[in-house]
Amino acid sequence: MASESVGVLNRVMVDRRSFRGAFMDLVAAIAATGPWKGLAERLVRAVGHAFPNSWVVVSVCRHFGRQLFKREGTQFERVVTFDSGGQMLCCGTGRVAEASVMYYFLGTITNQDEDERPLAQLLTRAVRTGDTFLDIGANVGFYSFFVGPLCGLSGAVHAFEANPLLIQHLQRSAALNKTRANIVVNPVAVGRESNKTLQLFDPDRIGGSSLYQLDWLDTARSVTVPLTTIDDYVRKNRLERIDVVKIDIEGAELDAFRGMQDTFTLCPPSVILCELALLLGAGNDPGSSLGSRERGGYAMEVMHFLAARGYQARSIRAEDGLIADVIEPETMGRLTQNLINVAFVRNELKAQRPELFCR
């Protein structure tokens, strides 16, 4: 009887969610048609930018956005201007449009396992005119296009994205910023070897595809992508400095760091912003399964690797994006969230840039 009651309760909850979703779709469909469409869009966008962390607002934006590109199809195209002055196209079809349109309505992405706003605040302080920024795992390009104007025309952004579904979107958005930023889009995966190819699994899962066979991916679907190392890229492009790196490549971060051995010696970045998953294993080859043999094990391996190269792992304060407390690797297994954003900073940075740190 108890199991039957739970089953009934679960069905009721699903029915409620389905009814709520259907109702919001209906309201969004009405708002997205007729003479009030422009006014409704401006209103939804204003509310989204004002309250980007409200799940109700996020849901409204998502439903309204879906109705817009459902009606406009391949003609759907918007441009979002970020607080830094950088611009990004929000367009396309299918998953690319669905992913990018949320930046148009919110100005950022929130309400996930992690909140991107503190990272944007930290980047606003950390990146200066003339800096070189690497965006490894650019996805739809939020960080590349946000940071571009901060680097200015005397600096550069080098964006790396393996998923071929996103390359045209990134290139068109980069062209929007050409009067205020140098943004180079590289359609490659980053790893520990160059001049070879690997399979990128589940490319339709925008922002979540991986070189590893993660449990939540459709590994029956894949695409062949070229691979490079940061060391080879730095040599080929004669980069003399790298100031800040953002990396989020779904379990392949350690591979990318292993392909940066010379870079860590010749032009080590001052700050590396890294998203780490706490449910991944460690030590497997690309293409294999990353299991959850030990919660936090992969994150600990990344932290130990970078510590041996002069980096402290620190938290990022949620309210203002300042670099906060040192994170001990052994605490990773006790965290309850699935993802954590970590600022890896050179040991000497606090003395050089005290304004980036909590007092």
pLDDT in tens, 259-312: 999 999 999 999 999 998 877 654 456 766 555 457 778 889 999 999 999 999
141 and 290 in a single domain? The answer is yes
- Contacts of the segment 17-26: beta carbons below 8 A, 24+ positions apart: 21/63, 24/59, 24/60, 24/63, 25/63, 25/66, 25/67
92 and 145, same domain (yes or no): no
Beta pairing class for 244-247 and 222-228 = unpaired
> In the prediction, which pLDDT does 8 show?
40
> What are the backbone dihedrals phi and psi of residue 316, each rounded to the nearest 5 degrees, phi first?
-115, 120
Confidence at residue 283, expressed as pLDDT on a 0 to 100 scale: 46
pLDDT at 37: 86
pLDDT of amino acid 98: 79
The predicted structure's pLDDT at residue 293: 53
Examine residue 235 and state whether it is found in any structural domain, yes or no.
yes
* Sign of the Cα pseudo-torsion (229, 233, 238, 243, in order): negative
Which of 80, 106, 132 represents a domain boundary (last residue)? Answer: 106
Residues 234 and 315 in one domain: yes
What stretches of 287-343 show up as alpha helix (H) in DSSP?
A: 297-307
Residue 322: CATH number of its domain: 3.40.50.150
Q: Kindly report each contact of residues 255-258 with a partner whose C-beta sits within 8 Å and lies 24 or more positions away, as own/partner.
A: 255/190, 255/191, 255/192, 255/211, 255/286, 256/136, 256/190, 256/191, 256/192, 256/229, 256/230, 257/302, 257/305, 257/306, 258/192, 258/305
pLDDT, position 4: 45
Report yes or no on 314 lying in a domain.
yes
What's the CA gap between 7 and 3, in Å, rounded? 6
3-state helix, strand, coil in the chain (%, to 5): 45, 20, 35
Q: What letter would DSSP give residue 81?
A: E
Reported as type and span, the H/E element at residue 172 is helix 167-176
In this predicted structure, what is the pLDDT of residue 10?
46
Q: What is the pLDDT of residue 95?
A: 78
Within this chain, do residues 77 and 129 fall inside the same structural domain, yes or no?
A: no
Determine the pLDDT at residue 180: 96
In a domain, 111, yes or no: no
Residue 15: other Cβ atoms inside 10 A: 10
Separation between Cα atoms, residue 74 and residue 191, nearest integer Å:
34
The residue ranges of the chain whose pLDDT is under 50 are 1-16, 282-283, 292
pLDDT of residue 263: 97
pLDDT in tens, 18-61: 666 677 777 777 877 878 888 998 999 999 999 888 888 888 88
Q: Are residues 221 and 80 in the same domain?
A: no
Task: Indicate whether 279 and 146 sit together in one domain.
Answer: yes
Same-domain check for residues 229 and 292: yes
Q: How far apart are alpha carbons 285 and 15 in whole angstroms?
A: 43
The candidate with the shortest Cα–Cα distance to 236, out of 285, 184, 298, 166, is: 184
Domain final position from 87, 106, 125: 106
Which residues does 207 contact at the CB level (< 8 Å), separation at least 6? 99, 139, 140
Same structural domain for residues 310 and 195?
Answer: yes
Six-digit token pair at 164? Answer: 């071929």
Residue 143 and residue 50 share a domain: no
Co-location of 272 and 315 in the same domain? yes
Residues paired with residue 140 on neighbouring β-strands, in sequence order: none
Q: What residues does 136 pair with on adjacent strands? A: 160, 247
Spatial contact of 183 and 155, defined as CB atoms under 8 Å apart: no
Residue 165 sits in which domain range? 117-356
| Residue 141 covered by a domain | yes
pLDDT at residue number 145:
97
- 193 assigned to some structural domain: yes
Rg of the chain over all Cα atoms, to the nearest angstrom: 21
β-pairing, 311-316 with 339-346? antiparallel
Residue 112 lies in a domain: no
Based on the domain organization, do 100 and 121 belong to the same domain? no
Residue 247 is inside which H or E element, if any? strand 244-247
Q: Which of 106, 135, 154 is the last residue of a domain?
A: 106
**The total number of structural domains that make up the chain:** 2
Residue 237 within a domain = yes
23 and 145 in a single domain? The answer is no
Closest to 45 in 3D by CA, of 129, 120, 108, 131: 108
